[in-house]
Chains A and B, each alone.
Chain A
Amino acid sequence: MYPSRFRYEAPRSLAEAIGLLHDNGDDAKVLAGGQSLVPLMKLRFASPGLIVDINNIPGLDYHRTDPDGTLRIGALCRHVHLEHSDLLKTSQPTMAAAAPLIADPIVRNRGTLVGSLCHADPQGDWASVVLALGGSVVARGPNGMRSIPLGDFVTGPFQNVLAPDEIAVEAVIPAAQGTRAGGYLKLERRVGDFATVGVAVALEMSGETVTRAGIALTGVGGSTIAARAAGDALTGRPLTAESIGHAADLAAEAARPRTDHRGSAEYKRHMVRTFVTRLLRRAEPAAERAA
C-alpha cells in the first residue's frame, strides 16, 4: 500500500509538461485523475521515476460540442462531469449511459475519460464507448499534435501508442450525421466491480434507417473489441428483429472471452448477444414489439 519513491513535478502548462516528459523518457508517467495509476503504484506494479501531475494545467477540464457537432473532452474532464452533463444526456446516449457505470461515485470525482483511455485497461468501459462512436485521442508532443483513432491508439493490455514525450490532451467524438441512439450495458456484480461483460452500442439513424452502427465490447478479450461485422450488418437498413438477431450473433462471434471466476466463456458470449439485442431493441421499440 506504499508506493516506491519517485520525483514529482506539477507543471502549469502543457509545454512545460511535455518538456518534462521529453527529458525523462520512459521513466515518467502522467498523473491526471490518478484512480488507475496510484493504485498500481501502491501495489508497486508501476514504479515510475518521475510523476508529471497535469492537474494544475488550466483549460483542460472542458467537454463541449463544436459548431459542427464534434464533441471534445479535455484531459481533465472528470467522469462526474460527464455523469451530470446535460449535453451528454440530450445528445450522446451511449456516453450518458456509460458515465454512471464507471467505477464508483467517489472515484468518478477524480478519474478522467482521457486518462481511462490512456490506461488502456481491457476492462475499461470508456474505451468501448469511444470505439463504438468512432472516436479518437488527440496527443500533443514536442513536434506538434496528432489525432489517433482509438482502434489504433490501444495496442494491447495497458499499452498505447503515445511516445514517451506525448500527452493525450483530448478525446474527440466525431459529429453525427443522423440522430444518435444507443446505450451501454454492463454486467457487474456490484458497483465498482470490473465488467463481467460490457457492451456499447452507438447508432446513427436517418428516419428508420441505420446510417452508422458501432458496437464495442468490454471484458471479453485481451483488449476492447470492435464488433465491426456486427455494426456493418446493421448499416443501411432499418432495425428489425432479424437484423438485430443477426448483429447480436456477429457480436458474440467477435468476442474472445476467457473462462474465469466471473463466468464461463460461453456465458460471456451469451451475455454479449443478450446485451446487444437489448440495446438494439431499445433503439427501435417497433422491432422490440415484433420480437
Chain B
Amino acid sequence: MSQALDEIKIGGLGASRKRVEDNRFIRGKGNYTDDITLPGMLHMEILRSPLAHARIKSIDASRAWDIPGVHLVLTGEMMATRNLAWMPTLSYDTQAVLATDKVRFQGQEVACVIADDPYIAKDACEAIEVEYEPLPVIVNPEQAVADGAPVIRDDKAGQESNVIFDWEVGDAAGTDRAFEQADVISRLKLHYPRSHPSPIECCGSIADFNRATSKLTVYMTTQAPHIIRAAVALVAELPEHMIRIISPDIGGGFGNKVPVYPGYVCSILASILLERPVKWIEDKSGNLISTGFARDIYLDGEMALRKDGKILGVRMHCDSDHGAFFSDAQPSKFKIGLLHSAFATYDIPFAHLTARGTYSNKAPGGVAYRCSFRVTEAMFFQERMMQAAADDLGMDQADFRRMNFVRDDQFPHRTPFGFLTDSGQYAKCLDVGLKAVDYEGFRREQAEARKHGRLLGLGISTMTEPLGAGNSREYDILGIKMFDSAELKVHMTGKAIVRTGARGQGQGHETTWAQIVSHELGIPADDIVVEEGDTDTAPFGMGTYASRSTPVAGAAVAMVSRKIRAKARKLAAHLLEVSEEDVEWELGRFYVRSAPARGVTIQECAMAAYSNMPDGMEPGLENTAYYDPPNLTWPFAVYIVTVEVDPETGVWDVLKLVAVDDCGVRINPMIVEGQIMGGLTEAYAMANMQFITFDADGNCVGSNYMDYLLPTAWETPGFELHSEVVTPCPHHPIGAKGIGECAAVGGPAAYVNAVLDALSETGVRNIDMPLLPDRVWEAITYRRDVSGAPPVRSDD
C-alpha cells in the first residue's frame, strides 16, 4: 500500500500554495532598495538635460559645491578622466554615463550631486549651470535616414549615419515564389507605440565601497545581479570576486530593471571616491524619461493567401527606433530580438523579414517590457495581420486561424523563420475560448445591436511565444551563454535551502521553487527556504526577464533535486541494506521493491548523509545543477475580448475577456493566474491609454504619471481565465513552460481587434495604439485608418 505523500498537501506541483513572500510584504516589512540605510550613507541626485539634442558648451558647478552638505559633484568631464564617461552596453554599443560633448536625448544624465540628504542634493543640482547649444532633433526612423540628418552618434569613429543595423532572416526567394502564387495579398502597416514598463518602484542603487576590505557591495534594483557584477567588473575595472551585487526586494521589474543605468555607475564611482555608501533612488519622471523603454517600432508586412484561406507566405519589414544608444538586453545574435518568432502559431511554409534599427534623440532602449525580446511586437503584428487577412478573404476570424494553426501532430514544428516550437493543442484552446465567450451567440447579439446603432465587437488573438532563452548554441548576451543554475542543500533534519541565479520581482519564486523541490523530493514546501539575489551566495544565473525563470532556473531546480535524490537513493539502499537496484521511490520515501513496507523517508536519508554514510561516499547532501536549455518553451494562448464602442464619443468598454492559456504544467495555479491577469492589464493599458510620444523638438510627452497613464481598478476590466488545456513541454524536466509575459504579448491585439470589429461597417482597417477615444471617433466619423502616435501639440 502506497505511503506516497499527497503532493498537493505538501505543496508540490499543482498546489496553489499561499505565497511565502507575502508574509513580509503585508506587514510592510519588505526590504526594497530605498528601505535600506547604511551607516554614513550619502544621497545622490541626477541633473538631467532639458534638451533632446545639444552641444554642451560649459558646465559650472561652483555654486553647487558651495551648498552646505554637498560632498561631491560629478560631471562627464570628471568621469572621462577615469574612463567612465562612457560604458559598454549589452548590445555591443556604448552609452554615455554622464554627457561630455553633447546631450542626445531629453532627460539624459548631465551631472550628479552627492550630499547629506536628497533635498540638499536636489538644491545643488538646481545650482549647476549648463550652457547648451541646441542641435536639430530626430524623433523617428524616417527622419533618422533622411538626407542631411545630423549624425547623433558622432562620438563613434566610423559612424556616418544614424543606422545601427540592417538585419534579415528567412527565405527571400521562397517567399517571393509564394507571393507569385497568391490569390489574395493582404497588407498591413502599423506602429507599435513607444511604451515603458513602469513598475511602481523606480530604479536605484546603494553603492558601498569598503576601503579596508577592497570590496564593493552594491544594493541594486536589478533583475540580473550576476550580469551586473560582470558589467561592473568590466566598467569599473574592479576584480569580479571583490564585487557583491545584492538585489533586495524589487517592486516590479517587467524588464525595466535589467539594463545598466548611468545612475548605478555614478553611485559606484561616488562611493569609491568618498569611501562612504552612496544611495541613488530616481524619481518617476527620471525613470520614465531615461530608462529602458519598449517598442517604438514600425511594422510593414504582407501575407500571401490562397483563396481558400491557406497562408502561403509572409513578408515583414520593420524599422525600430532605439533612441540615442543601442542598449537593448537581448541575445546578441538577434539584432531585432525575437521579432522573427512572428507567425510561429501558424503552419506557413515561407517567410522573410528585414529589419533596420536607427538612432534618435530619445532615451535608449526598445526591448524591455514584458516582451521576451520583442515577441510583443511579433505577435501583435501577427494577430493584427491575421485579422486584416481574414477580412480581406471574407472569412470568419476563428475559422481562418483554425485552418492555419500548426496541428497537434506537427510538433515539434519548424517555423518559417527557423524556430522549433515544442508542443501545443491550439485548436482545442480556441474551442474552449469560443465556447466561453459564446461566439455564435455574440455574433447574433452583435448583428441585432447594430440595427439599433450600437457597436459591439469581438477580437481574437492567438499566440505562441518563445520563452526561456536559451540554448547555448544560439543564445548569449555579450558572449555569455544564457544558462541558469540552482544550488540545493538538504540539512541533516531534512529541511532545505535552494538558491538560484534568478531574481523574482513579484513572480513568487520563494514559493514556487520550493514547490519544485517538493515535487522531486517529497520534502514539504514549508520545509524549504528559497534565496535569490546575492551574487556572493547565489549560483550563477542570467536573471529573471523574458519569462525565462521557470523554463531555465526552474529546470535547474528540478535537475539539482534529482541529483540529490540520486544520492539519497544510495543512502537509502545503505540504510535498508539492499542494493540500489532493489530500491523504489514514491513521493517522500524510498522502499524495498520486494518488501514495500520497509522504507526510509527522505528525511532519514538526509540524516544518514551526515551520520551514516556508506564506505567511500562523500558526506553531506548538497549539490548544484547548471541548466543549458535544449530549446525554448512555447506556451500558447487564446485571448478573446468583447467590447462596446460608443460611436458618439469613441469611448470603448470591455464587456468580457476570456483567456485560455496553455503553459504546460502549472507549478502554482494561483500564481500563474496572477501573472496572466497582470499581463492582460498591461495589454489593456497599451491598447487603451498608455504611450510615450515626442514633439518635433524632442520634448517627451509621457514622462510622468499625469501623461503616462496606467489604468486604475476602476477602468480595468475583469478577466475569465481558463486552464483546461495543459500540454506539457516535452523537453522541460517538469513539463512547464513560461507564462509571465504571455498576456502582455497576446493581449493587445485582442483589444484592438475587438474595437476594429465593432467598427467593421466603416471599413476601417487599422487604428494604431493607443485607441484613445478621439482616435476611435476619428476612425468612425471619417471612415479612415488612424496611424502613428498621438500628435503632441499643433495649433489649428
Partner-B contacts on A (CB < 8 A): 1-2, 4-5, 44, 104, 187, 189-194, 196, 258-265, 267-268, 270-271, 274
Nearest Cβ distance between residue A36 and chain B, in whole angstroms?
A: 12
B792 touches A187 (CB 8 A): no
B689 touches A2 (CB 8 A): no
CB within 8 A of B790: which of A5, A187, A193, A261? Answer: A261
Digitize B114-155: 1 where CB-to-A-CB distance is under 8 Å, 0 elsewhere. Answer: 000011001100100000000000000000000000000000
A4 touches B796 (CB 8 A): no
A274 touches B796 (CB 8 A): no
CA–CA, A191 and B772, complex, Å:
15
Q: Known: A196-B774, A261-B701. Contact between A190 and B122, CB under 8 A?
A: no
Smallest CB gap from A260: residue in B: B793
Dominant SS at the A interface?
loop
Smallest CB gap from B792: residue in A: A261
B651 touches A187 (CB 8 A): yes
Nearest Cβ distance between residue A231 and chain B, in whole angstroms?
A: 22
Most buried by B among A193, A261, A262, A274: A261
B793 touches A271 (CB 8 A): no
CA–CA, A1 and B794, complex, Å:
30
The 9 A-B residue pairs with the shortest CB-CB distance, nearest first, are A263-B774, A267-B774, A2-B122, A2-B119, A261-B790, A1-B283, A189-B689, A191-B712, A191-B714
A190 touches B711 (CB 8 A): yes
Asked if B438 CB lies within 8 Å of chain A CBs, one says no
Interface magnitude class on chain B: 35 or more
Q: CB-CB < 8 A to B283: which residues of A?
A: 1
Q: Known: A2-B122, A190-B689, A267-B778. Contact between A260 and B791, CB under 8 A?
A: yes
CB within 8 A of B772: which of A4, A5, A104, A189? Answer: A189
A-B contact count (CB 8 A): 74
A190 touches B714 (CB 8 A): yes
CA–CA, A264 and B776, complex, Å:
12
Q: CB-CB < 8 A to B710: which residues of A?
A: 190
Dominant SS at the B interface?
loop
A190 touches B709 (CB 8 A): yes
Nearest Cβ distance between residue B767 and chain A, in whole angstroms?
A: 14
Q: CB-CB < 8 A to B777: which residues of A?
A: 267, 270
Nearest Cβ distance between residue A267 and chain B, in whole angstroms?
A: 4
CA–CA, A270 and B777, complex, Å:
10
Q: CB-CB < 8 A to B693: which residues of A?
A: 261
CA–CA, A190 and B651, complex, Å:
11
Nearest Cβ distance between residue A265 and chain B, in whole angstroms?
A: 6
CB within 8 A of A264: which of B119, B123, B712, B778? Answer: B778
Smallest CB gap from A258: residue in B: B795
Asked if B706 CB lies within 8 Å of chain A CBs, one says yes
B793 touches A258 (CB 8 A): yes
B773 touches A194 (CB 8 A): no
Q: CB-CB < 8 A to A265: which residues of B?
A: 796
Q: CB-CB < 8 A to B707: which residues of A?
A: 261
CA–CA, A270 and B709, complex, Å:
23
Q: CB-CB < 8 A to A260: which residues of B?
A: 791-793
Nearest Cβ distance between residue B326 and chain A, in whole angstroms?
A: 27
Q: CB-CB < 8 A to A194: which residues of B?
A: 706
Digitize B362-395: 1 where CB-to-A-CB distance is under 8 Å, 0 elsewhere. Answer: 0000000000000000000000000000000000
Nearest Cβ distance between residue A222 and chain B, in whole angstroms?
A: 12
8 Å CB interface, B688-735 against A: 688-689, 693, 701-702, 706-707, 709-712, 714-715
